[in-house]
Structure 1
Amino acid sequence: MVSWHQNSDEVKGYKVTVEKLQRDQSYVVQTEALTSNRELKVDGIAKDSQYRISVRAFDLDGLGQSSETVMYPSFLRASCGNPTECQAIEPSKPDTANEGDQSYKIDAHVVRQTHTRLRVMWFLPQGDLDKVGRFQILLTSRTGRKLVDSKLRKNQRSINLHPVSQDNAYTVLVRALDRQGNVLTEKLIGVERETKKGGSSKAELLLCAGEIRDKKARIAWALKNIESSTLKAIRLKVQRDAPGGAQVLKRILSTVKQTIVLAKLPPKRLYFITVEAIGKSDKPVLSSVLTLKTPAPGDIGEPISGAPVLTKVMFFKKEAQLRLLNLSIHNGEAFVKWDDEGEPIPEEIKKDVKVLVNYRKIHPDNSEGPLRQGYCAFR
């Protein structure tokens, strides 16, 4: 663990460089990382090798001078840049004086929508949302040059950043501020440059959820490698308990709309969410799904990513009650008609419900034959 002190309050983040000594007495970079904290866990350190560690702070004007450089494992200070600005020290108790309110947590996602545009989405899964005043977004090049510094209203959870270059790497710092401008929590994300081998041109619709409370939740989505101008609309569907369950919301949204708040949700219930990108032909060209569960009152919920956790056959907690309507026999075949009573079966899943039919043959002497069973579709 590497930790350091900082005397300035204007710092936006730190660049930590760990170099390993080679046989020819030269140093090769082993780890280079960006962080907004004042400590960094460095993996892959061998006890029998020599390392050189330095820390550089960066603010809105770019990267500052290098810290004192420390040697590991000897911890001999080899050189000094400007120790009054940023001083590297031996591993010790972390300095947390300016790390924000530990009761808050931010969850942020950065998507390269196109070669020239980034999409940033964020949530506050932990903390009192009423105390948030604004959000701050900082886009910085890897050389430390500030490109974007934007403060946004408290109910905003996404922003487009452009123009950017696919050949450059960036860092995105997302901050939650209170009404006085103090940092409640923050998250620093590195955005690597695109390579011809690693870059994918496949169109995608990315869906995520957060801030799940007992009565509401936020969801956000981002289109990747597809222009919104080629689409007609976004379709949002919310079903209760399972796919095919009771539909509680269905909305057609503008392609510009990419976040929404689901309100008045009962606690301790499952919701299956589908977002579809509708093409000019009125057919979905992209879709994404997730399941979330609202927590008990006062608690915080978590999204369940990927496939739904329930299936249609698990919808019922008990057997449905059926009522026999009529029975007719024709050419040796019996036709039975029934309907459900009590708790109704949702129309959307009746086609998937199996009905068990029990029957016996009555002989002329009124004796009963063996019990027979058969499964058939509800209709």
Structure 2
Amino acid sequence: MNTTTLVPPPPSSPVLLGRSGSRLPICGKIRAGIKVLTKHAAQQPQAQSLYDQGVAAGQSFDEIEAAILTAIPTLKHPLVPRNVPWFTVRAQDFANPLLAQQILEAYGETRGDGERRLYRFPVVFPSDHWPTVMPHQLAVWGSREKRYWSQYSADGRTRQCWCPAPLPNGQGARPVRPFGGRQPMLRADNGGICNPEACPQYQARECNLDGRFLFFIPGIRSVSVFELHTRSFYALNEAIQTFETISFLRGGRISGFLDRERTPFYLSKQLRDVAHIDEDGQPVRVPQWIIKLEAPVDVTALLRERDDPDTCLMQAEGATQVLASEPVREVPAEVPTAVAPLPKPSAINSDESPSHDQVLALAETFGLDPDRYGAYADRRWGTGWKLNRQGRRRAWDELERYRQDPEGYADKIETELARAAGRRA
């Protein structure tokens, strides 16, 4: 492979600034913990003074650290993270500093020490696609930019290792100034393959899981979303399970409020013993405050909402299996009272909900394999789509949109299934 050849990202709509997926604008950061002075830095009176002044002024920890490094250049890393039971909300982490005050006033609590802090707060997510609202990757950060990061290939089969491309030389010794910033390229020295077990940066603890939640907070007015970073595998993995369970119960939906009672998700922290490998290579368990995604909703209300009577009992059985972590048994989405020929796929009014069989019949007119289509639909709308009239309506409407382009729709399905298979691998 030519090490200077740039590999384009997956195709999307072309725009002036290049082909890229849509990104949610961020208005501010809520942090999972705090940073404190290292033991060596705490022995420096000037560092302690700058730290205390920055905390009192509501500065971000990045700003506090920069101020300490400017005053005492010999301190390489003056601050270290500390795990605490609350979330940190600081004015300087928001484009509009007043948002930090509004969040604390609305959802902050005083627990014992007299200081108002954020321990638990409601959130709603702007998308039904959980990787959009909880993006994550393996990444190595330098002092100024991200040095390496993981990303799946366009077909979803291979986890690749990427890095910024070197700047080409222009006239003379001055490098060419790229429009839109430096472009990405596959890392050359490992063949562009992300393999943590063989990666020197991962083994040296320089490469870490880097994830974040993107959400709105009810009652806090903002068009842009808030973000909460985490590097906890446990937090991200359990959040995926919560997303998938709610998606099953709601016919593929995780966005917005969870029910007609306007119940939101909640983010909080839970103290747990977690395992990790110490410096000597031995497994140990230590207590840590782990971010927890809660969905305090009445399951029976989700089963009843916008559903027809024929599928309520089947939904309840499937939901019980999901919540009990048992394999979900396939059951028919409709219980016909008499054997009758299926109506033609086009015979569905806009205010009706098609049956599972009718959706599959329409898919077959595209030349799609029912099993492959079913696997795609389970991934796109959650495994509960076939049991929920709203989920079946969504599947039907998507098929209708692609009626004039069945080959393109088949390609879309195969690409999504290949990407899913790659992620599982």
Q: Classify the TM-score, shorter chain.
A: under 0.3
Structure with the larger RCO, 1 or 2 (CA within 8 Å, 6+ apart): 2
Give 1 or 2: higher strand fraction: 1
Provide the TM-score with structure 2 as the length reference.
Answer: 0.22
Provide the TM-score with structure 1 as the length reference.
Answer: 0.24
Structure with greater Cα Rg: 1
